[in-house]
Amino acid sequence: MTPDRLKRIQDMLKNRQPDLTVCLEEVHKTHNLSAIVRTADSIGIHEVHAILAGKDSRVRSGTARGSQNWVKMNVHDNIETAVSQFKQQGMQVLATSLSERSVDYRKIDYTRPTAIIYGQEKYGISDAALELADQHIIIPMLGMAESLNVSVANGLILYEAMQQREAANMYGQSRLPKSEEQRILFERGHPVFAEICRQKQLSYPFINEQGEIEASDDWWQKLQTHKSSW
């Protein structure tokens, strides 16, 4: 790992927002999925969630390949499971929808732990998701169109969240568990060795401040030999 790459990864880790996420309910168009994950990465979101029950596995694994190396995709079979997880983490759950409960998306306090649900391109958010959400939000529309493309709406809302969090000094400090930082440093800084570890089911080593692997002679020997000889 070069010093430049190490610094870039370390800077990225300092800006990750583990208490901010998005949930995509049956959003299935690949270009929308890719754009949403890319935007999530750009503002520091560490994990995104998707309800993709019954969808082709290529949708699950092939979305935004570059950004998905840095943003974890969690797939759920139903919205109830996803929202339950958010609420267990103390998150406010927002649903993008025009309803009597809706407020302008800019009136929300995004410095709070937050999960934002976006609905399927054609039919929008399900009734179940709307019922489970703590608040409905809208993006004001002044023309004839009734809604924005889901990836565009996501961009507007997430950059509002980023602006609020920047003002609250929530960037520039590491907030991820050390174990997760170590995983990312190894997998993205030493991808060849990481792949060998996965194949051999070998534990990951420690990565020091210089981005170097610190491991025992036994670990190095196991890395270089067949598992049958351990």
Written as tens digits, the pLDDT of the chain (230 aa) is 889 999 999 999 999 999 999 999 988 788 889 899 999 999 999 999 999 866 544 444 445 455 567 899 999 989 999 999 999 999 999 998 877 788 999 999 999 999 999 987 777 788 999 999 999 999 887 886 777 788 899 999 999 999 999 999 999 999 999 999 999 999 999 999 999 999 999 999 999 999 999 999 999 999 999 887 78
Asked if residue 161 and residue 94 are part of one domain, the reply reads: yes
Asked if residue 144 and residue 77 are part of one domain, the reply reads: yes
Domain span holding position 221: 178-229
Tell me the C-alpha distance between 24 and 73, whole Å.
10
Asked if residue 74 and residue 119 are part of one domain, the reply reads: yes
63 labeled binding residue: no
User: What's the structural domain count of the chain?
Assistant: 2
- Token match 């270089």: residue? 224
* H, E, C per residue of 86-127: HHHCCCEEEEECCCCCEEEHHHCCCCCCEEEEECECCCECCH
- Token match 């980023």: residue? 162
Asked if residue 163 and residue 182 are part of one domain, the reply reads: no
Read off the DSSP letter of residue 203: P
What is the pLDDT at residue 62? 47
Tell me the C-alpha distance between 169 and 160, whole Å.
14
Query: Which residue, 116, 135, 167, sits at the end of a domain?
Result: 167
139 labeled binding residue: yes
What is the pLDDT at residue 7? 94
- Residues facing residue 124 across a β-bridge: 120
Asked if residue 185 and residue 80 are part of one domain, the reply reads: no
108 labeled binding residue: no
Residues 141 and 147: beta-carbon distance below 8 Å: yes
Residues 6+ apart with CB under 8 A from 206: 182, 213, 214, 215
pTM recorded for the entire structure: 0.86
Closest CA to 95 of 81, 85, 77, 108: 108
What pairing do the DSSP bridges indicate for beta strands 102-104 and 135-138?
A: parallel
